[in-house]
Amino acid sequence: MTVEQLAAYLQVAKSTLYKLAQEGKVPGQKVGKHWRFSREAVDAWLKAESHRQK
C-alpha cells in the first residue's frame, strides 16, 4: 500500500502517517524515496496495539 492508500485506510492525515513511519511506530519500509506498507502487517499491528491498550 502507498502512503495515500494507508492514510485513507486508517483515516489519518498523510503527514501523521509519514511521522509514524519515520519513527518506526507503524510497520512499513522505504523503497527508494517512497514508503510502502503491507495491509497484513498493518492489520496485525493494529490488532497488537488494541490488545496492548486493554
Determine the pLDDT at residue 49.
86
Determine the pLDDT at residue 50.
86
Range of the domain at 28: 3-52
Express each pLDDT in 25-34 by its tens digit.
999 999 999 9
3-state helix, strand, coil in the chain (%, to 5): 55, 10, 30
Express each pLDDT in 1-54 by its tens digit.
999 999 999 999 999 999 999 999 999 999 999 999 999 999 999 999 888 876
Determine the pLDDT at residue 51.
84
Determine the pLDDT at residue 39.
96
Contacts of 5 (CB under 8 A, 6+ apart): 37
Q: Strand 29-31 and strand 34-36: pairing? A: antiparallel
Q: How many domains does the chain have?
A: 1
Query: CA-CA distance, 24 to 29, in Å (whole number)?
Result: 9
